[in-house]
Structure 1
Amino acid sequence: MQTIALFGATGQTGKLVLKMALDQGYQIKALVRDTKKVDYYSNNLTIVKGDVLNYENVETTIKDCDLVVSLFGHVKNSPEWLQTNGTNHIVKAMNRFGIRKIISLSGGGLPFPEKDQPKFADKLIRAIMKIAFSKALDDAIQHSKVLKESGLDWVIIRGPRLTNEKPKESYRVGWVGVNSGTKIARADLSDFILKQVDSDEFIHQMPFVSY
């Protein structure tokens, strides 16, 4: 079973991915700033205390892993270029250790013009996001450029409004405006994230997961 370097393991989605991954038998190395926020332990879990903005911490986390799952993102008072700078550190460490694959989580506001066909409502939502969440959106766009230029096997998973409802165990995988809805439970999103660990279906793409 593969070893996953996990970033963002103490977020609402990250906690679910961590538990699911351990339940499925994966080995996990997780970088966390506050170890008290880790509420699920296993012999297959290694915790690295540190920050994604510290390159040495990132390198320690990625060493001896097979791939990266990156779920960290903006919270209150986050640095403006958190996702971009953290992703730069991750890519640098991946290249050092010869790790090829990274699965990254972002929001539906991140455009993927190669496949998206946004309708009026989608364009309106993006316009609102550009005003209300401009820093986070700019950071998400720049982080996607880092991955696109990395030469790595990347997948950026996008979702709409995330909820904490029980999983339906059924969801759609499409693109903005194409086979897409307006919400998804974090549990179902987490299921899709983990399915990409052993799948190359969406390499170099940005699938949109929703109900």
Structure 2
Amino acid sequence: MKTIALFGGSGKTGQQFLEQALAKGYTIKALVRNPAKVTQTSPNLEVIKGDVLNPADVEKTVQDTDLVVSLFGQVKDSPKTVQTDGTRNIVATMQKCRVPRIISLSGGGLPYEKDQPKVPDKLIRFIMKVAVPHMLTDAQGHYEVLKNSGLKWTIVRGPRLTDDPKQGTYRVGWVGVNASTKISRSDLADFVLKLVEDEQYDAQMPFVSY
């Protein structure tokens, strides 16, 4: 089984991914700022206290792994470029340690060529541009870092996230194409976990929703 370097494992989606990945038998090295937030325990889990903005902490997490799953992003009091700068650290370390592949998480506000946004999608993006423009700029910056990395990458995008129970069924499309406006964190994590073994969306940005 693969060993996964996990960033953002203490967040709500990260906790769901961690639980599901450990249940499947994967080995996880998880970098978190506050280890007390990680409730899972397993012989296959190594929790590393640190920060994605610290290259030494990132290297400690990425070395001796098979791929990276990056679920961190903007939270309250984050630096406005945390996802871009953190992803830049991750990519540099992956190149150094010869780790070839990364799966990263973003929102539907990040545009993609296959999207066909409807009026509600455009409205949400407009509101974000006005209220939290740095979130869109940071998501775009992290995409540029991945696109120019020379690595295999997939950016998974989701709509509004809920804490509803896992359904096990959802749609994988693009914004405005075979898509809805919400998904549970547990089902989003399920899709990210499937991509660990499935490279069909490499260099793409699928949108996952009910």
What's the TM-score bracket when you normalise by the shorter of the two chains? over 0.9
> What amino acid sits opposite 1:167 in the alignment?
K
Residue matched to 2:121: 122
Deviation at 1:119, TM superposition (A): 1.6
Residue matched to 2:46: 46
Residue matched to 1:92: 92
Name structure 1 gaps, 5 residues minimum: none
Residue matched to 1:169: 168
How many angstroms apart in 1 are the aligned matches of 2:11 and 2:70?
11
Deviation at 1:164, TM superposition (A): 0.3
> What amino acid sits opposite 1:200 in the alignment?
E
How many angstroms apart in 2 are the aligned matches of 1:42 and 1:176?
37
**Between Structure 1 and Structure 2, how many residues are aligned?**
210
Q: Mapping of 1:58-207 within 5 angstroms?
A: 58-113=58-113, 115-207=114-206
RMSD between aligned alpha carbons? 0.6
Residue matched to 1:2: 2
Deviation at 1:27, TM superposition (A): 0.3
> What amino acid sits opposite 1:9 in the alignment?
G
SS in 1 for 2:208: strand
How many angstroms apart in 1 are the aligned matches of 2:7 and 2:189?
14
Deviations 1:16-66 (A, max 9, x none): 100100010000000011111110010000111100000000001000000
> What amino acid sits opposite 1:196 in the alignment?
L
Deviating runs (4+, > 3 A) in structure 1? none
How many angstroms apart in 2 are the aligned matches of 1:36 and 1:166?
24
Name structure 2 gaps, 5 residues minimum: none
TM-score by length of 1: 0.98
How many angstroms apart in 1 are the aligned matches of 2:127 and 2:22?
38
1:209 aligns with 2:200: no
SS in 2 for 1:198: coil
Residue matched to 1:34: 34
User: Percent identity, aligned pairs only?
Assistant: 59
Deviation at 1:122, TM superposition (A): 1.2
> What amino acid sits opposite 1:176 in the alignment?
V
Residue matched to 2:19: 19
